[in-house]
Structure 1
């Protein structure tokens, strides 16, 4: 017989701390797949705060799109499908037969090659958060006896207890739960230090650029330069105007982007990006964010699970933060559905998510650090690796599957 201190998934009391995309997706999944569980969603922001206009950009992998479609929360009309990913390295680089006549190493991955309609999609944060929150509130209204919403009530602390977790609210109240999932992440500069912490001494400047009307549609660009990666993520057009979200990374010690005019920024970007993109026609005001690695060694600590940026904040070179969080959420809820006790479900989650998580952390960390290394031949080596991926279809397919679905 199961003791009262180790409830089955059906009797589970689950707290979800943080009503961002990862937290809301997890709460919705749990509400639908654990129909007897009691779920409480906590967030410090007021319920009536307008979230739909948040302009931050999200890059969703195909697996994330499919999960959101299953939840009925994928805003297809507001998202721009990614049909091709173009990764290249800017000159100078060593000449090699693999690089071809242009001398620029590159790898191009297309949805058509992979037999799918898209590799992923790009949309604004608010455009994703709004339908997720609407779906959660509708679910909570339909099942008020087991689904609870605590907006405007920030969580001050989590207190581990035997067989559960106490949630301490900002006003001093405490609520006991069998399991707590922390999905409040934030940006690197505002976080407390986790077990693995490294400041890359790099900045990311983010905004949007306007593209030429005849520029390629649905193409995401990742360009390795001597100073750091530059990414352009396709956004839905506004009338005839093609647009892309910009993530422009550079060394903090040599960052003079703040001092440049818009025309100077455009000129510098144009020089760094591949010619196939076409001319840039405009640029928005840019915001600057310091970059670093801040990660927990484990997702699970007692009866507390951390997902997404609450578990690992990464360099944006791979764009995997939210995608990791959504894979964490799916695995955890599925484990709670399949296993008889929270302990068994949490052990499965930790074991199953570890390879994908650490592979992504190691890859992004290596790439981020490599832009600060001055080793002879490093750029040529990175370029040859890109060229080899392009020349070897099985390797390119493996990379594409990792990009689309992670390590599931």
Structure 2
């Protein structure tokens, strides 16, 4: 990621331009950055918007098989952006109709005949689906195509700069100067590229929070029995960490990066996220057949037989979080550029989309005032970004705290924790209002 250098006393080329459109730079053409650009072109109809990305223009992103879980709120945003029909037309999207949460350890004080579980269904929440599951490339390709089409239709104010890494920026008296081949000044810079925990530089006080969970997430795909219910996302708490199965469209399974599985017969598929302790890893030394045997002891009986597993790839898990979303009054971080979370809740991209929604709401309110003069523009933008940060922090902090607590709890040896967690699951299933609140937070965030 680029490094920020600040020079508050530097003269700004923006200051002598009394009235002109807002200039917005977006660093990163991933799903967060492209979603922001596509929505900004309508929300800020006079703004000049430029997206920067280091990847080549001819790089085919469609084959990126990393799995994303989208909440209903994110699906609705993509529908409003007019890209959801193209995503659905790919045939590579599976709806989440039910979420099933359970734990492997027995709840010794549980009075019921069966161990406690939480089931949240789209039917009981009166929505068409709770969310959807798709590959990273399936999402980014239509977003990129839509943005390139928008740039061709309005080249005077919209631009896509592939092959142009942003090496840094300098904060001016009014605006930000970006170092990307040539120096160019913008009113607001939004950093929307972040990567995963293992790719990010260390954050040191006072810049942010950092914690290594000492866990590895093994990711890949599995083929399930044809009798396994369709559209169900399974979350399973185990002594080593959480494991999840996310529904995928039927077809042959493959590993990360398209690695072929030894068994390529088509069938009911699910994406696997299997989190285990890094220091006592039961997965790393096993071959595919041994992993399949072990997997069949992990999940709830409702899953049924897991018939095949693809090659798996491991990723270190940790928390990286900037304390502030706004730096120097004009540089904003969203999505993984602001925080990387444990995948236990599968909410990383959904959190970014809520950032996008709130940021554009704040900038729209400031837009008319910002066009009056350079001085008024700077004050209006800084006020808008302060409001954005203030409104986003509760949702962000609540989700970080929840995922952090769940992730850390697997490292605590006290057996009573498994019982406490099981009792909590049972109580949540029994308490309708609490379950509805949880379901709403999954679909739309903590608002």
TM-score by length of 1: 0.95
Q: Deviation digits for residues 228-261 of structure 1, max 9, x if unmatched?
A: 0000000011286100000000000001312112
2:239 and 2:56 mapped to 1: Cα distance?
44
**Residue in 1 that maps onto 2:113:** 101
Task: Pick which of 34-43 and 344-353 moved more.
Answer: 344-353
Report the equivalent of 1:164: 175
Q: Distance in 1 between matches of 2:424 and 2:33?
A: 37
Task: Tell me if structure 1 keeps the 8 A contact 2:125–2:436.
Answer: yes
Whether the aligned pair in 2 keeps the contact of 1:166 and 1:175 (CA below 8 Å) is yes
Please identify, of 361-370 and 67-76, the stretch whose mean Cα deviation from structure 2 is larger: 67-76
User: What SS class does the counterpart of residue 109 from structure 1 fall into?
Assistant: strand
Measure how far apart 1:311 and its partner are.
0.2
Matches within 5 A, 1:75-224: 75-76=87-88, 77-97=91-111, 100-102=112-114, 104-169=115-180, 171=181, 173-194=182-203, 195-224=208-237
Mapped contact 1:10–1:36 kept (Cα < 8 A): no
Give the SS at the match of 2:124: coil
Structure-2 separation of matches of 1:238 and 1:197: 39
> Which of 330, 335, 339 is the matching residue for 2:357?
330
Deviation readout 1:72-112 (Å, 9 max, x if unpaired):
11212421000000000112332322xx212x221000000
Q: Where does residue 432 of structure 2 map in the other structure?
A: 393
Contact preservation (8 Å) 1:39, 1:148:
yes
Counterpart for residue 45 of structure 1: 55
Determine the structure 2 residue equivalent to 1:27.
37
Deviation, 1:288, is 0.4
1:7 CA displacement: 9.1
Change in 2 beyond 3 A, CA 1:8/1:276: farther
Secondary structure at the residue paired with 2:123?
A: coil
- Cα 1:352–1:280 change in 2 (3 A) is same
Whole-angstrom distance in 2 between the partners of 1:296 and 1:286: 30
Closer/same/farther in 2, CA of residues 139 and 8 from structure 1, 3 Å limit: farther
How far, CA to CA, are the matches of 1:87 and 1:8 in structure 2?
57
- Tell me the distance in 1 between the aligned counterparts of 2:28 and 2:20: 23
Structure 1 residue corresponding to 2:270, chosen from 235, 244, 250: 244
Partner of 1:315: 342
Q: CA separation in 2, counterparts of 1:352 and 1:8?
A: 30
Contact kept in structure 1, 2:341 and 2:400, CA below 8 Å? yes
CA–CA distance in 1 between the matches of 2:97 and 2:231? 5
Query: 1:148-196: CA deviations, max 9, x gaps?
Result: 1111010111222222111112x4x221111000000101111012310
Question: 5+ residue gaps in structure 2?
Answer: 1-13, 253-265, 370-379
CA RMSD of aligned residues (A): 1.7
Is contact 1:186–1:310 with CA below 8 Å preserved after alignment?
yes
Structure 1 partner of 2:5: none
CA distance in 2, matches of 1:376, 1:271: 20
3-state SS in 2 of match to 1:250: strand
The change in CA–CA distance for 1:387 and 1:109 in structure 2 (over 3 A counts) is same
In structure 2, distance between residues paired with 1:273 and 1:7: 62
Which residue, out of 349, 361, 381, partners 2:388? 349
Partner of 1:56: 66
Query: Does 2:301 align with 1:272?
Result: no
Mean Cα deviation higher: 289-298 or 73-82: 73-82
**For residues 256 and 7 of structure 1, what CA distance do their matches in structure 2 show?**
62
Change (3 A) 1:365 1:43: same
Gap regions ≥5 residues in structure 1: none
The separation in 2 between residues aligned to 1:179 and 1:296, in whole angstroms, is 18
Does structure 2 conserve the Cα–Cα contact (< 8 Å) formed by 1:60 and 1:120?
A: yes
Determine if contact 2:276/2:282 at 8 Å carries over to the other structure. no
Equivalent in 61, 77, 81 of residue 71 of structure 1:
81
| Structure 2 residue aligned with 1:14 | 24
Task: State the shift of 1:376 in Å.
Answer: 3.9
Answer whether contact 2:105 2:418 (CA < 8 A) is retained. no
User: How far, CA to CA, are the matches of 2:352 and 2:18 in structure 1?
Assistant: 24
Per-residue CA deviation, residues 238-297 of structure 1 (Å, 9 max, x unaligned), is: 286100000000000001312112121111111110000110010110000000000001
**Cα distance, 1:10 vs structure 2:** 7.5
- Counterpart for residue 408 of structure 2: 369
Aligned length in residues: 401
Match for residue 240 of structure 2 among 212, 221, 227: 227
